[in-house]
Structure formats: structure tokens, C-alpha cells
């Protein structure tokens, strides 16, 4: 789906069929905002599965030490699978 955006992502692999969005950008802008707690929970569930939704923001600056944070996250996923 990200290939239907203007985000700076890697070139689309040859032969990849990208599905068309079911809703327009205007639909998402009008009906769902990042401030909508229901929308945030839907995104969380879709991305994190059954991991509990955070009760409060952590306050962490995720722009720093990104590589380290991603590695820790990957390790936690591996540990849950084992």
C-alpha cells in the first residue's frame, strides 16, 4: 500500500501488484485522526497483535538510538516466539 503514497521508499520490486486503497485520503483525513483513541487502538492491534496497548505515552525520544531500539524490539519478538 505504501507504493500508493509519496513516501520515500525503495523502488517497487518488478512484478509486485500493489492493491489500490479502498478509501480516499480525504476519507481518512476526515474520519480518522491520529488524535482519535479508537483509531490509535485499531492501528496498535493491527501492528502489535495481542501486545497490551500502552496505558500512557512512554515519553521516550525514539529518534535517538534508533538502530539500538530496533534491535531490542527484534530480540523481544524472537523471545516471544520461542
- Total residues belonging to the chain: 82
Domain residue ranges in the chain: 1-51
Yes or no: say if 15 and 24 are a contact pair by the CB < 8 Å rule: no
**Does the pTM of the predicted model rise above 0.75?**
no
Q: What confidence category does residue 1 fall into, taking pLDDT thresholds of 50, 70 and 90?
A: low
For 32, residues 6+ apart whose C-beta sits below 8 A from its C-beta are: 39
Q: What confidence category does residue 21 fall into, taking pLDDT thresholds of 50, 70 and 90?
A: low
* pLDDT surpassing 80 at residue 20: no
| Tens digits of residue pLDDT in 29-74 | 665 565 667 877 877 777 777 888 888 777 777 788 888 888 888 8
3-state secondary structure labels for all residues of 33-56 = CCCCHHHHHHHHHHHHCCCCCCCC
How confident is the model at residue 22, as a pLDDT?
Answer: 66
Amino acid at each position: 500500500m505504501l507504493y500508493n503514497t509519496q513516501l520515500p521508499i525503495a523502488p517497487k520490486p518488478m512484478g509486485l501488484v500493489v492493491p489500490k486503497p479502498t478509501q480516499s485520503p480525504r476519507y481518512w483525513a476526515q474520519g480518522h485522526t491520529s488524535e482519535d483513541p479508537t483509531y490509535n487502538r485499531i492501528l496498535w492491534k493491527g501492528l502489535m497483535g495481542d501486545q497490551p496497548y500502552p496505558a500512557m505515552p512512554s515519553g521516550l525520544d525514539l529518534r535517538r538510538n534508533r538502530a539500538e531500539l530496533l534491535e531490542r524490539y527484534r530480540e523481544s519478538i524472537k523471545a516471544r516466539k520461542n
